[in-house]
Amino acid sequence: MISIPKNIQELVSYKPGKPVSQIIEELGLSEWAVLWNNENNLGPSSNVLERIQEVGGNFHTYPDPASTQLRSMIAEQNNCHIDNVVVDNGSESVFDCMFRAFFEKNDKLLTCDGTFVAVYIWAKSNKVPVARIPLARGYQFDIDRLIYSITPQTKAIYVANPNNPTGAMISNEQLSQLIDNVPDHVLIIVDEAYYEYAKVISDDYPDSFQLRRPNVITLRTFSKAYGIAGIRVGYALGEARLIEALSKVKMTFAPSNLAQAAGIGALEDQAHIHKSVMLNKTALQQFYTAMHDAELEYTPSYGNFVMVDFKEEELAKTVTEKMMKQGIFIRHLKAFGLPHCVRISTGTEAENALFVSKLQGK
């Protein structure tokens, strides 16, 4: 019998729920709002579709393994050299590559509870122990305690800014404090999946890459504001020698022809990004007002979602199920280690209005 390593046996398999279309049919819903995955429900720019059509005749050929055009555009946008950029099948895939590129035996990852669940999954699958500390007040990363918790075994620190699923932001001052007090040999991974949203919500939102520190790697994605989550493309920014190491361990031809074309098309249409982030900014204010009126406790968000704290797991679960029966698909956060909380993504104008009306009992 083939043995399966203990770390893989202990991982909990992802068990997807029923497809939305099936739930809609079973419940006989006439209207609905899918607000549970932090997607951009506006969808992609028309440029994305045009670029994909252009490469449609070349699906039989391998992609450019260096993703030269896409990386060049990302580099130009971030005022850096192409050697400071690596792209892959989503930023989550880049994060997985970090364990192969940088971690050795006895190295540990340091982070907080209540952050992106894939962090813990990829660490365990790569046999990397994770030191986890509690989130601070306001469901924020505890910067002081992260610094204090560094040990000789700490190879990297992971922070998400803003954090998913809590929505809390690390300020310019807090990020500088972290970077200034972490030894140069410890890697700081800053996950900026919601970068495009956060920078228009707050003037105090820091661009970690522009600090140009040799031990900082910034993760970003096309899955959120750019609206192409289903195509899978993300990237990392950092010092050239770190980016080269990541390039060595990623799959040779990732991302695909289609994904590279989609990323190029998305970057070409900054007007679509502006439309998306401004819609989200307006939606957050609508959500805050409705939640305040409903006397719900929520965390101000710098992403495209809001987390509500119901204090009790059973109540959070009940609310999630009740809203689904009314056509509102939201996320119960038990899998994130926050079983008493629920996360609601922003959507289109119509979806946002539907959510608010249901919350108000209309």
Region 345-355 average pLDDT: 98
* CA angle centred on 78, ends 220 and 89, rounded to 5°: 30
A 10 A CB-CB count for 275 gives 13
Mind giving me the DSSP string for 216-278? Answer: EEEEEESSSTTS-TTT--EEEE--HHHHHHHHHHS-TT-S-HHHHHHHHHHHH-HHHHHHHHH
| Whole-number average pLDDT of the chain | 95
Domains in the chain (CATH in brackets) are 6-43+271-359 (3.90.1150.10), 46-268 (3.40.640.10)
Please answer whether residues 217 and 242 qualify as being in contact, where contact means their C-beta atoms are separated by less than 8 angstroms.
yes
Residue 55 amino acid letter:
V
* Pick from 137, 133, 136, 111: nearest CA to 122: 111
Residue 112 in 3-state DSSP? strand
Percent of the chain whose pLDDT exceeds 90: 93
- Asked whether the predicted pLDDT for residue 141 surpasses 70, the reply is yes
Region 247-268 average pLDDT: 96
Counting Cα atoms < 13 Å in the Cβ hemisphere of 191 gives: 29
Region 91-95 average pLDDT: 94
Region 133-153 average pLDDT: 97
- Residue 12, pLDDT score: 79
- Asked whether the predicted pLDDT for residue 283 surpasses 70, the reply is yes
